[in-house]
């Protein structure tokens, strides 16, 4: 099992690296380029759409599993052994397609949200059917999925941030799948981690290519899938969401503060914690390490919380880590932009 996971990681990383190197000149010729605007953290036009290579690396390696299963166990046993893996495959691919359409054609806010909710509803219904749960929970899954996909997209604004976090989060869910067996989850998430690692050298410390919405949507879909199937299979809640909390905390805090100060919360901005730190002068790689490190620390505290004596402290300690992360711009002297913002009418 361990050897299979290592090989899956390496195969996904290698496939993504090769695909990324081939994709960069294609995107440049096609003029699929992110032009800097006043809210951007980059200053040079950079190709976007690298998520295609990440998704390709992940789903190609994921797709080998059903072929092997069919060859070794026959078609009748395929659905029983790989239902979770196939759900992950379909979810990630579907969100990647929505993100690609957004990259190419710029969907309206309403149509984008409707598609995210529909895919989230599918994920919730499928997960409920697998464990025999009541289907009404799918509505909650749909809402949380849309929120998580958008949070991942909003946090994809600094070089190496989304890919670095993805490598940490993907490996964490592999660990969870081994400690609390969820058939198929480890194989899906090891390919996501490997694909993110294969893309990372092209995105940090200097970005030659951005993920684009195709990549961030696919990663958001992967996190929604992993958290949903973990919770459906009885994995403790903190273990199921630990590395994702930094994304949710940064996005949720920023959204709440913008609403509180009367801003148009739906408009682009540079007020996320990571954006404020980059604007203050931190290099992109340092901010990416901060987010990945926060995700890793939250995961380590969640794991420590499995010990009976530490269980009551796990959630408070994770909350403390997130509060420190949210206040870090103030602690390093970057200032509080929300104090100076005037309500927009």
Q: Give me 110's structure tokens.
A: 């309403």
What are 34's strand-pairing partners?
46
Q: Give me 196's structure tokens.
A: 């993110």
Tell me the C-alpha distance between 100 and 57, whole Å. 16
Q: What number of other Cβ atoms are within 10 A of residue 14's Cβ?
A: 16
- Residues of 42-81 as b/e, b for ≥16 C-beta within 10 angstroms? beeebbbbbbbbbbbbbbbbbeebbeebeeeeeeeebeeb
Element (H, E) at 46: strand 46-47
Exposed / middle / buried, residue 229 (Cβ in 10 Å: 0-12, 13-18, 19+)? buried
- Is 213 a known ligand-binding residue? yes
Collapsing DSSP to helix, strand or coil, 132 comes out as: coil
* Alpha-carbon separation of residue 118 from 109, 145, 232, 333, 344 (angstroms): 14, 10, 19, 43, 33
What does the CA dihedral 139, 140, 143, 146 come to, rounded to 10 degrees? -100
Tell me the C-alpha distance between 305 and 312, whole Å. 7
Looking at residue 204, the DSSP 8-state letter turns out to be S
Q: Give me 213's structure tokens.
A: 């919405």
Q: Give me 164's structure tokens.
A: 């670095």
Q: What number of other Cβ atoms are within 10 A of residue 209's Cβ?
A: 23
- Is 34 a known ligand-binding residue? no
Which amino acids are annotated as binding site for Mg(2+), given as ranges? Answer: 153, 213
List residues forming the annotated binding site.
153, 213
């Amino acid at each position: 099992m361990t050897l299979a996971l290592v090989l899956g990681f390496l195969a996904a990383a290698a496939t993504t690296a090769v695909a990324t190197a081939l994709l960069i000149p294609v995107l440049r010729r096609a003029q699929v380029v992110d032009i800097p605007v006043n809210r951007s953290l980059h200053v040079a036009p950079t190709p976007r759409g690298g998520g295609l290579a990440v998704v390709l690396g992940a789903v190609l390696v994921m797709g080998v599993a059903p072929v092997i299963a069919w060859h070794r166990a026959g078609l009748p046993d395929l659905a029983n052994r790989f239902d979770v893996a196939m759900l992950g495959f379909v979810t990630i691919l579907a969100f990647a397609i929505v993100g690609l359409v957004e990259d190419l054609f710029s969907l309206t806010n309403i149509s984008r949200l409707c598609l995210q909710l529909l895919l989230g509803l599918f994920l919730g219904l499928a997960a409920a059917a697998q464990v025999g749960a009541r289907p009404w929970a799918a509505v909650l899954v749909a809402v949380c999925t849309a929120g998580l996909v958008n949070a991942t997209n909003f946090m994809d604004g600094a070089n190496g941030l989304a890919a670095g976090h993805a490598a940490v989060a993907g490996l964490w869910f592999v660990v969870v799948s081994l400690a609390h067996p969820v058939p198929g989850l480890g194989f899906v998430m090891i390919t996501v981690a490997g694909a993110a690692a294969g893309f990372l050298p092209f995105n940090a410390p200097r970005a030659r290519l951005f993920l684009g919405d195709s990549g961030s949507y696919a990663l958001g879909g992967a996190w929604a899938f992993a958290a949903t199937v973990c919770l459906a299979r009885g994995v403790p809640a903190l273990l199921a969401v630990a590395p994702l909390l930094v994304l949710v905390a940064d996005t949720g805090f920023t959204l709440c503060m913008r609403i509180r100060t009367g801003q148009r919360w739906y408009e682009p901005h540079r007020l996320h914690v990571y954006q404020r730190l980059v604007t203050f002068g931190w290099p992109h790689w340092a901010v990416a390490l901060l987010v990945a490190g926060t995700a890793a620390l939250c995961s380590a505290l969640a794991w420590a919380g499995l010990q009976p004596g530490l269980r009551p402290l796990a959630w408070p300690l994770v909350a403390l880590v997130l509060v420190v992360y949210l206040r870090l711009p103030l602690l390093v002297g970057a200032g509080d932009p929300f104090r100076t913002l005037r309500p927009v009418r």
